Amino acid sequence: MSTITIDRIRKSYGAYAAVDDFSVEIPAGTVFGLLGPNGAGKTTTFKAMLGLIRLDGGAVRYDGEPLAPATFERIAYVPERSVLYDWMTVTEHIQMTRSAFKGFVPKMALELLTQFNVDPRKRVRQLSKGMRTATMVALAIARQADTLILDEPTSGLDPINQRHVLNLMINESARGATILFSSHQIGQVERAAERIAVMDRGKLALEGTVDDLKYGRKIVEGIFPTSDVPLDEFHRDTRLLRIDRDGRIVRLLTKEDATAFAARLEGMGASGVRIVDLNLEDIFLYAVSPALQTADVVEGA
C-alpha cells in the first residue's frame, strides 16, 4: 500500500499550462477517481506520476519517497492510448510482461483474458479498441501491484466488460491496493471511487469523498414575490458556492446546512422552497462549468 502525494506539480507545453500547481493526496488503499473535462490535465498528471514526463515544478512521492526505479515494480499503469504492439500476439505480450516484472502472474492474466473473451493467440492488430483496453487491464491486474494507475480503463468496452473492470478494481482494493483512475463515465466513478478530485484547466477544482460531497452539497431553491430581494447576506456566507438569480427564483448551491438555508429563504418571504439532491455528475458540472451570465459565483468550487 502506498500513499501517493502529488505536490504542487506544474507542466507547460510552450505557453500552454497543462497542469498548473496541482496538489492532491491519495491515501493508501483507497480507490480514487480523477475527473475532469478533456484537456483538464489528467493524462499529464498520470504521466508525471510515472516519471514519463519531466515536470517544470513540484513533485510526486510514494510513501514520502520520490519515484525511483524500484517504485516501478510496485506500480501498474494502463495508459489512455494502447501501448500494445500491433504485430505481436497477446501471448507474446504476456511473456514480455513476465520478463519485465517479478510479481506478474501469467496464469492470472490468461484467466482474466478469458473472462474478457480475448483470444490470446490473436495479434493485437486483430483486436477491437475495447479488447485492447481489456488486454491492458488484464496485464496490469495480473501484476498484483501495490498501486494501480488506470487512465480510462473502461473506454471502448461494452457494459458487461465495463462492469467487470470495475469489479476487478474493487477486488484489488479489497486486497489493499491503492487505485487511481480516470473516467468520463461519472456513474462508474460514483460506484467504484470513495474519494474524487476534479481537475479543470490544470488546477484542482474540487476534492473530497463521494459520500461527503453528495451528502452536503444541495441546491436550495425559492421563489420570491419580487425579483429584487437583496441577497447580500448570502454573498458573505462561505458555505455557499454559488448564488443564481433568475427573475424571482433564487438558487443557492451550498456545501452544507441546506435545511438552514431553506428556512432562511422562507423567513425572507420565499415560497415553493425546496432542497434538491445532487448526484456526482451535477457536482462535477457545477465544479467545472463557467459562471452563467445570471450567476454570482462566490467561489470556484
- Phi first, then psi, for residue 21 (nearest 5°) are 65, 50
Q: How far is the CB of 256 from other proteins (least distance, A)?
A: 14
SS3 223: strand
Binding mask 105-144 for other proteins (x = CB under 8 A): ----------------------------------------
Where does this chain touch other proteins (CB under 8 A) — which range of 34-42, 200-208, 214-222, 230-238? 214-222
Question: Distance between CA 171 and CA 152 in Å, rounded?
Answer: 18
294 touches other proteins by CB under 8 A:
no
- Name which position in 59, 100, 260, 276 contacts other proteins (CB under 8 A): 276
Binding mask 7-46 for other proteins (x = CB under 8 A): -----------------------xx---------------
192 touches other proteins by CB under 8 A:
yes
Q: How far is the CB of 120 from other proteins (least distance, A)?
A: 25
Binding residues for other proteins restricted to 144-163, rule: CB under 8 A: 163
Q: Which among 241, 284, 225 has a CA at the least distance from the CA of 37?
A: 284
Where does this chain touch other proteins (CB under 8 A) — which range of 17-25, 59-67, 117-125, 188-196? 188-196
194 touches other proteins by CB under 8 A:
yes
Where does this chain touch other proteins (CB under 8 A) — which range of 96-104, 198-206, 212-220, 233-241? 212-220
- Name which position in 109, 193, 206, 301 contacts other proteins (CB under 8 A): 193
Question: Distance between CA 73 and CA 228 in Å, rounded?
Answer: 62
- Phi first, then psi, for residue 257 (nearest 5°) are 60, 40
Residues of 38-58 as b/e, b for ≥16 C-beta within 10 angstroms? eebbbbbbbbbbebebebeeb
- Name which position in 106, 279, 295, 297 contacts other proteins (CB under 8 A): 279
98 touches other proteins by CB under 8 A:
no
Q: What is the DSSP string of 55-112?
A: -SEEEEEETTEE--GGGGGGEEEE-SS--S-TTSBHHHHHHHHHHH-TT--HHHHHHH
Residue pair 106/94 in contact (Cβ under 8 Å)? The answer is yes
251 touches other proteins by CB under 8 A:
no
Q: How far is the CB of 35 from other proteins (least distance, A)?
A: 14
274 touches other proteins by CB under 8 A:
yes
**Helical segments of the chain, H only:** 42-49, 90-100, 106-115, 129-141, 159-175, 186-192, 210-216, 232-235, 258-267, 280-288
211 touches other proteins by CB under 8 A:
yes
204 touches other proteins by CB under 8 A:
no
CB-CB neighbours of 13 under 10 Å: 9
DSSP state of 123: B
User: What residues contact 98, with CB distance under 8 A and at least 6 apart?
Assistant: 104, 106
* Contacting residues toward other proteins, per CB under 8 A: 30-31, 163, 166-167, 170-171, 173-174, 187, 190-194, 210-211, 214-215, 218, 271-282
